[in-house]
Amino acid sequence: MARARRGDAARPQHVVVPPPPHASGARPPEVPRELVPKHVAIVMDGNGRWANARGLPRTAGHAAGEAALLDVVAGAIEVGVTHVSAYAFSTENWKRSPEEVRFLMGFNRDVLRRRRDTMHSWGVRVRWAGRRPRLWRSVITELETAEELTRGNDVCTLTMCVNYGGRAEVADAAKAIAREVAAGRLDPERVDERTVARFLDEPDLPDVDLFLRTSGEQRTSNFMIWQAAYAEMVFLDEYWPDVDRRHLWRAVETYARRDRRYGGAVDRSAT
């Protein structure tokens, strides 16, 4: 597929190429399009435990997780997932040791720099959700550079959640709404769920359909608590560095078998 970038006729045409197949030759499952989740949110958990189990420092686990993220995004494209949100650094991660925080800041910056061209070639749009305060300026620069480079892509959207917290996002939205009310631009009686959604970090991000967490833990850890209100939860026992696109595909198959009722019910009693 070839597509010209809008807004700059001087730039060469951007040719989108599909990601390479998995090394094993595995192909995505044949799931009906309407049963494929549009938005998958991922808690990439278990990096430190993966490393410690091998006698390595925790930072080695984070480094090993880079390839897992790239492969999962490739698998998302192949199976038809249009949005992936990755929990890269939470507002609570500042509590970790200064050494680990420094590593994670530099690592997130360098991953964006190393992988943005690959993502761009696949037609992936990279976006950022999270707070600016405390975040390294160099990380913000790489996030914004990746956003600008890929802004015209529409094959899949990868939202990097860096210095992100679900409660922080809702609190920031509430503050913004309060400012609008105080300025007389918004009637407080007209504030509803749609209003709140408009003030979130990425207001056009669809609700999370599939919430995926690795390492055997079974909690959301303050990730996309608004968007994942009706998400289907799938928890994997594998540590994040051991995950690849095949794990995503199995989770998609699990999702496709779920009966999503959104609070409704059907009386199936015999007549």
121 with 146: CB under 8 angstroms?
Answer: no
Residue 12 is given by DSSP the state P
1 with 77: CB under 8 angstroms?
Answer: no
To the query of whether residue 45 is one of the catalytic residues in this protein, the response is: yes
Crossing angle of the two packed helices 58-79 and 98-121, in degrees rounded to 10: 30
To the query of whether residue 222 is one of the catalytic residues in this protein, the response is: no
Neighbours of 115 (CB within 10 A): 18
Element (H, E) at 169: helix 166-182
Catalytic residue among 45, 71, 201, 209: 45
270 with 259: CB under 8 angstroms?
Answer: no
* Six-digit token string for 204: 């056009």
Catalytic residue among 8, 93, 201, 222: 93
**Residues carrying an active site annotation:** 45, 93
